[in-house]
Amino acid sequence: MTRLLAVVVACGCGSSSPVAVTSIMSSPRPIPVPGRDPSSLRVMSYNVNFGLAGDVAGAAAIASGSPDVVFLQETNDDWAAVLIAALPRFAFHRFEPPHQLPAGGMGVMSVYPIESIDTIDSIAGPFFAWRVIVDAPAGRIQVLDVHLRPPMSDSGSWVVGYFSTREDRERELSSHAERLDPKLPTLIVGDFNEEADGRAVAVAEGIGYIDAIAQFKGATRTWEWPVGRFTLRFQLDHLMYDRRFVATAAGIIEAGRSDHKPIWADLEVVTP
């Protein structure tokens, strides 16, 4: 357990202690959404960093993106309290605390009703996933919110783990995807803990998903972590959509104090 916890913390999960709350008034202005189709949906994914629980800057980062629904990783009771209080626009919200490791919580906040949530235990990593059904303007959609195994070995080596854990994430996502309803328009979002050449991303691409972040932002990093004089920078967060959606825009928000950045995409359901 201690070794696994060290892996999670070293992989960019931040301090295990709450930090001082910062003012939401200093946040960036919301991303404008003039002329957006009323049936479109702005989806966000954000690993908020469990060690920053209580930091209102994280709530401000979410608000600045003007999402309709946001899927969260590394939440806990403190994060839930702060986000619910700071973001009253989201009338519907659900949070599930970590099962074992402190970085394992999940959350979702939505302006549209959340019909159901299924918790999916991982077969190869320390964190669970969620299958969420949202009653969106164009009809029910399904979202798989994931937090895949960090790319570090059990001994805490980034170099070894970068290569040795790829198969674990592949097996995780393959297993999670088997729980999806093929009849519903579907997104796979969250902290994949790997870049576009990773095996889990390949699994999603192999069954027809497109990464909106790579599509609109190329290889721009979504995560960074200082290591001595250097800073590791990778695109570990992804927002992937199936053929029943079309993405019209996507971006990465330079806000919040988490090691991850909020990512978002504007999506429209394709009429059959």
State how far the Cα of 203 lies from the Cα of 34, in Å rounded to an integer. 35
Domain of residue 110, CATH code: 3.60.10.10
Q: Let me know if residue 257 belongs to a domain.
A: yes
Determine the pLDDT at residue 131. 98
Average pLDDT over residues 172-178: 98
Q: Let me know if residue 21 belongs to a domain.
A: no
Residue 20 has pLDDT above 60, yes or no: no
Q: Let me know if residue 50 belongs to a domain.
A: yes
Determine the pLDDT at residue 18. 31
CB 249 within 8 A of CB 44: no
Residue 184 has pLDDT above 70, yes or no: yes
Average pLDDT over residues 170-199: 98
Residue 24 has pLDDT above 70, yes or no: no
Q: Let me know if residue 34 belongs to a domain.
A: no
Q: What is the pLDDT of residues 208-264, one digit of tens each?
A: 999 999 999 999 999 999 988 999 899 999 999 999 999 999 999 999 999 999 999
Q: Let me know if residue 153 belongs to a domain.
A: yes
Work out how many domains the chain is built from and give that number: 1
Q: Let me know if residue 203 belongs to a domain.
A: yes
Model pTM score: 0.87
Q: Let me know if residue 104 belongs to a domain.
A: yes
**9 DSSP assignment:** I
CB 217 within 8 A of CB 251: yes
Round the average pLDDT of the chain to a whole number and report it: 87
State how far the Cα of 42 lies from the Cα of 164, in Å rounded to an integer. 35
Determine the pLDDT at residue 37. 65
DSSP H helical segments within the chain, as ranges? 2-8, 56-64, 77-86, 158-164, 166-177, 199-206, 212-217
Q: What is the pLDDT of residues 194-206, one digit of tens each?
A: 999 999 999 999 9
Domain encompassing residue 109: 2-16+39-269
**Where are the strands (E) in 55-164, listed by range?**
69-73, 92-96, 106-110, 114-120, 129-136, 139-147
State how far the Cα of 190 lies from the Cα of 242, in Å rounded to an integer. 15
